[in-house]
Chains A and B, each alone.
Chain A
C-alpha cells in the first residue's frame, strides 16, 4: 500500500497535478461499495453493470489522475454482437454515399492523414443516471461512465474532403463493427449534421493515450466528437456514409433524445412535447477527495480536490463550499489541457470543529454555463450535472 501511494505520488508530480494525496486519511468510498467488479480483456477491475453487451464503470479513485489510463476507461456497448477479433490486414474504413469517390482506407492509409492530438473528456449520455429522482430505467451509472483521455487520429474533415462531399449533403452517418443479435434489433448507426461533421476537431482516433485502442473501447478506430456525449463516438468504426437526406436511423431518430426545452429538462415524470438529438455535454464538477464518508481530523489541513469540465468551453472557475452551500470560496485551477479536457482543482481547508460537513463544488464555463443545485429531470436520464454533496466527518484530533 505504501509503495502504491509512493508511486502514485510521484506520478502525480510527474503530470504536474496537485497534491491530491494530502492528508485526507481515508480509503476511497468506492472501496466500501458492494458493486460487482469484473475484469474484461485489456481492462482493469471495473464495476460491472451488465455483462452482455458489456457495460463497465470506472471506480472513482482513477479520477485522482488528470489522464484516465486505457485499462480504466468505462465500457458501454449497445447491441450484443460486439467485435472480439479484428485483423488490420483486412480491416478497412469505407467512406462513401453522396461523395465524388468511394474510399476504402486501411490503417496505414488512415495514418497518412495529418495526425491530430488532443485531450478530451469521454462521457456517456447517461452518466449519473442512477441519481435521478424519480428514478428512470436504463444503465444505472453513477459518476464513472466518463474519463479524460489523450486521443490521436485523422481529422474527419480531411477524410470527407478526400472523398469529396457532393452538394446537397445533409447528414453523415457512422457505423461500427458491432451487429444486432436479431435482425429486428436496429444496428447501432449514429449521424451528425454535415456542418458538424466538417468541424476541425472531430477525428477518427486510432490512439488512446499513445497506444492502440483496447478492443472494448473501439479498436482499431473510433470517432471522437469532443465536447459532445460519447453516444456519437462510434466504436470500431467501419463505414462513413454521406447522406443527401436526413438520417432516420433508430439511434438518432428515436433514441438518445432530450427534451427541446431550456436545459433539456421537463417536470419530473412528464413526457416532453418535442425532443431533439442529445448533443453538447453539460458543465460538471466532481469532488474526488476527500471521498464521501471520509473521516478527517480536526485542525489537520486537507486539500479538497476534484475535476471540472464542460461541453467544449474552458472552465472559468470552480467554487467550493465546506458548509453545505452557505459560504463559497474559489478553488485553484490546475494545468489547462485545453477546452475539451477536464481541469483539476484544489481548495485548501482546515476543519476546526468536529462534526459532519457537507462539501460542494460548482463549476462555470467561459460562456456562463454552470450547474443546478437541484437535479434537472428528463425521461431518459441524460445530462446529469447537479452540484453534488460530499458528506465527511471531522473527529477531534487524538493525542
Chain B
C-alpha cells in the first residue's frame, strides 16, 4: 500500500513537472513495431532497401500480386519516389515479392 502511494505521488510530481516545463509542448514517442517477412532469397534486400522509407507491413498488407504488379510497384518506388535500388536488386526484390506475397510461384 505504501509503495502504491509513493508511486502515485511520484507520478503526480512527474506530471506536474512536465506541465511546468511547457504546457505548450506536445510530444509523443512512436512504438517500434516490426513485421517479420517470409524467409527466402531476397529478403535481406527487401529489409534493407524498402525499409529506408517505410515499414515492411506495406508489403504484407497488399493483396496477392502478380510478378508484373510487383515489378511495376518496385519500378514506381524507384522512378517516382527515388528509391536507391539498382537494376539487379530490383529483379531480386520483385521476384521475392511475387514468390512470397504474390501469385507467381
Residues on A lying within 8 angstroms of B by beta carbon are: 38-42, 48-54, 79-80, 82, 84-89, 130, 135-137, 139-140, 181-186, 212, 215-216, 219-220, 250, 254
Q: Closest CB of chain B to A82's CB: distance in Å?
A: 8
Which of these binds chain A: B26-34, B39-47, B87-95? B26-34
Contact, CB under 8 Å: B26 / A135: no
Contact, CB under 8 Å: A51 / B33: yes
Q: Which residues of B contact A135 (CB under 8 A)?
A: 63-64
Asked whether B69 is an interface residue with its Cβ less than 8 Å from the other chain, the reply is yes
Residue of B nearest to A88 (CB): B24
A50-B61 in contact given A89-B24, A220-B26 (Cβ < 8 Å): yes
Contact, CB under 8 Å: A219 / B26: yes
Contact, CB under 8 Å: A51 / B81: no
Q: Which residues of B contact A219 (CB under 8 A)?
A: 26
A41-B53 in contact given A85-B25, A87-B25, A182-B82 (Cβ < 8 Å): no
Q: Which of B22, B26, B53 has the most CB of A within 10 A?
A: B26
Q: Which residues of A contact B48 (CB under 8 A)?
A: none
Contact, CB under 8 Å: B24 / A87: yes
Residue of A nearest to B58 (CB): A50
Residue of A nearest to B61 (CB): A140
Contact, CB under 8 Å: A49 / B63: no
Asked whether B54 is an interface residue with its Cβ less than 8 Å from the other chain, the reply is yes
How many residues of chain B get a CB closer than 8 Å to chain A's CBs? 30
Q: Which residues of A contact B58 (CB under 8 A)?
A: 50
Q: Would you give 26 A-B contacts (Cβ < 8 Å), ordered by A? A: A38-B33, A40-B28, A48-B33, A50-B58, A54-B30, A79-B53, A84-B28, A84-B29, A85-B27, A85-B28, A86-B25, A86-B27, A89-B24, A130-B63, A135-B63, A136-B63, A137-B65, A181-B52, A181-B53, A182-B52, A183-B82, A184-B83, A185-B53, A215-B27, A216-B28, A250-B80
Q: Closest CB of chain A to B69's CB: distance in Å?
A: 7
Contact, CB under 8 Å: A137 / B81: no
Asked whether B35 is an interface residue with its Cβ less than 8 Å from the other chain, the reply is yes
Q: Closest CB of chain B to A249's CB: distance in Å?
A: 13
A52-B25 in contact given A137-B62, A137-B69, A140-B61 (Cβ < 8 Å): no
Bound Cα distance A49, B34 (Å): 12
Bound Cα distance A40, B82 (Å): 29
Contact, CB under 8 Å: B22 / A87: yes
Q: Closest CB of chain A to B56's CB: distance in Å?
A: 9
Q: Which residues of B contact A80 (CB under 8 A)?
A: 53-54
Asked whether B7 is an interface residue with its Cβ less than 8 Å from the other chain, the reply is no
Contact, CB under 8 Å: A84 / B73: no
Contact, CB under 8 Å: A53 / B54: yes
Bound Cα distance A99, B35 (Å): 47
Contact, CB under 8 Å: B31 / A140: no
A50-B26 in contact given A38-B33, A135-B63, A184-B81 (Cβ < 8 Å): no
Which of B22, B26, B55, B80 has a CB less than 8 Å from the CB of A51?
Answer: B55
Contact, CB under 8 Å: B73 / A137: yes
Bound Cα distance A104, B84 (Å): 37
Contact, CB under 8 Å: A89 / B52: no
